[in-house]
Amino acid sequence: MSIKLLFLDMEGTIYAKQHVRMSDGEISDHNSLWSRLMKELGEDAINDNEKTIEKWENGVYKSYLEWCDESVRNLARHGLNKELFHEIMYSIDYNPEVKETISEVHRRGIKTAIISGGFAHQTKRAQVDLKINHACSAVEIFWDDQGKPSHWNIFPSDFEGKVDYVKLLSREYKLSLTECAFIGDGKNDVQIAKEVSVSFAYQAHDQLKKNATYTIDRFSEILKFI
């Protein structure tokens, strides 16, 4: 059965990975705008980010929403402002071949949807630049008149939440999961990779490579299989 709907992870898949050196000198596996922002805000912010990651991995948080909420509060407490946020966000490039490949996917009549545990501001940027049909992300920050975070919307769009979104959107299109594909790079993408017909581990974490249909190093390789 041919693919009608392609789901895409965002950070590390559409956008280039952000290799952030943490306080212990190690390179973070969490190569995201989250970690990049913490790095820009200083050592104390990096330390707090490490603590939230450890709490998540140890099952301290009840949900992804709780982890996101504390992480945004940390960003605000360490001085995040709208100007810095947008400066960093727009400094992150798309991965090679992303634009051309997504254009060809659309030419073939395949719908596209971003599903990400990242920021809505990034998904909106990608929707404008790449003409992505749908997008779902975890956090949208609202700014006050001084450009400081005043409020934020959080949505469960990572781990199991990714699977929920796939099922919701495929149902709306009257598609089976055998008509859906996914490309991602993280271990948080394992559940969704198991659900769809075809999944791609793109320059990915080992856990995702073990569970994806194909392991690829070039983004354009997906065109051979969808």
pLDDT of residue 27: 47
Q: Clarify whether residues 128 and 212 are in a common domain.
A: yes
Does 121 share its domain with 87?
A: no
**Which pLDDT belongs to residue 32?**
80
pLDDT of residue 5: 98
The count of structural domains within the chain is 2
Same domain, 134 and 170: yes
Q: Is residue 25 part of a domain?
A: no
- Kindly state whether residues 124 and 181 are assigned to the same domain: yes
Tokens 């949208």, located at residue: 140
130, 99 Cβ separation under 8 angstroms: yes
Q: Is 86 exposed, middle or buried (0-12, 13-18, 19+ CB in 10 A)?
A: middle
43 and 60, same domain (yes or no): yes
CATH of the domain at 112: 3.40.50.1000
Does this model's pTM top 0.75? My answer is: yes
Q: Could you say which of 76, 91, 106 is where a domain stops?
A: 91
Structural domain containing residue 188: 5-16+95-224
Q: Are 84 and 104 members of one domain?
A: no
Residues 140 and 48 in one domain: no
Last residue of a domain, one of 70, 91, 112: 91
135 shares a domain with 81: no
Q: What is the pLDDT along the chain (226 residues), one digit of tens a residue?
A: 699 999 999 999 999 988 766 555 554 545 688 888 998 999 999 899 889 989 999 999 999 999 999 999 999 999 999 999 999 999 999 999 999 999 999 999 999 999 999 999 999 999 999 999 999 999 999 999 999 999 999 999 988 889 999 999 999 999 999 999 999 999 999 999 999 999 999 999 999 999 999 999 999 999 999 9
217 and 109 within one domain: yes
**63 located within any domain:** yes
Same domain, 210 and 114: yes
Residue 59 sits in the same domain as residue 165: no
Task: Give the sign of the dihedral formed by CA 39, CA 40, CA 42, CA 48.
Answer: negative
For residue 26, being part of any structural domain is answered with no
Residues 80 and 159 in one domain: no
